[in-house]
Amino acid sequence: MTPDDALMTPDDFKPNVLASPQVRAYMPYAEARRMYFDEFVPALKLSVTGENALMEAIKLMSSLGEIVMGPSQVIYLDCF
């Protein structure tokens, strides 16, 4: 850790969602599920077979106001 690290705030790590036209503020649940099982779980070497942890994370983020789960199984990032 350098002295400059102590000056960083959590806002320093937030991506500017609106700065890039390639970044979208939504994701279909099926895509999130695929990324969870194909990228996240193997990267952490987890032995997860069900969707319970993913659904709990979605519920937590939803209750914190970070995301909104739409009626058509689309996850929206609440970036505004």
> What's the pLDDT score for residue 77?
87
pLDDT string in tens for the chain (80-residue length): 455 555 556 555 555 545 555 667 889 999 999 999 999 889 988 888 888 989 999 999 999 989 998 889 999 987 65
| Placement of tokens 């099982």 in the chain | 37
> What's the pLDDT score for residue 29?
93
N residues, the chain: 80
